[in-house]
Amino acid sequence: DAKTTQPNSMESNEEEPVHLPCNHSTISGTDYIHWYRQLPSQGPEYVIHGLTSNVNNRMASLAIAEDRKSSTLILHRATLRDAAVYYCILSYGAGSYQLTFGKGTKLSVIP
């Protein structure tokens, strides 16, 4: 199974951009890259996903390396509400529903 590697923790100042890295060197051609986040005492929530091209939505941007072996979640202006654990997840191929969560990156936002 393709796995992801993320830093255990990161810090950011409020209102500054945040770049959360994820390595997935064994990704296969049909694996989607998903990002979820989990705020304290809540269930995970979807942030963004992509396959090959960079993606933007109202929450964040996803930058995918050309070889797809890494990706970066970009929060354009961190707020205190963005303090959460961020999970980078690969869905194993177009035929799979399974999301296998790792430990994620705990993002702290400093006022």
Partner 1 sequence: EAGVVQSPRYKIIEKKQPVAFWCNPISGHNTLYWYLQNLGQGPELLIRYENEEAVDDSQLPKDRFSAERLKGVDSTLKIQPAELGDSAVYLCASSLGAGKGQETQYFGPGTRLLVL
Contacts of 29 (CB under 8 A, 6+ apart): none
Q: Which residue lies nearer to partner 1 by CB, 81 or 111? A: 81
Residues within window 63-82 making contact with partner 1, judged by CB under 8 A: none
Q: Does 111 participate in binding partner 1 (rule CB under 8 A)? A: no
Rg, Å, the chain Cα set: 13
DSSP class of residue 104 equals -
Chosen residue from 10, 51, 59, 74 binding partner 1 by CB under 8 A: 51
Query: Per CB under 8 A, does 100 bind partner 1?
Result: yes
Nearer to partner 1 among residue 13 and residue 26 (C-beta): 26
Asked if residue 42 binds partner 1 (CB under 8 A), the reply is yes
DSSP of 2-37, one letter per residue? Answer: ---B--SEEEEETTS-EEEEEE-TT--TT-EEEEEE
Separation CA 21–CA 94 (nearest Å)? 23
Q: Can you give the binding site for partner 1, defined by CB under 8 A? A: 30-32, 36, 41-46, 49, 51, 87, 91, 93-104
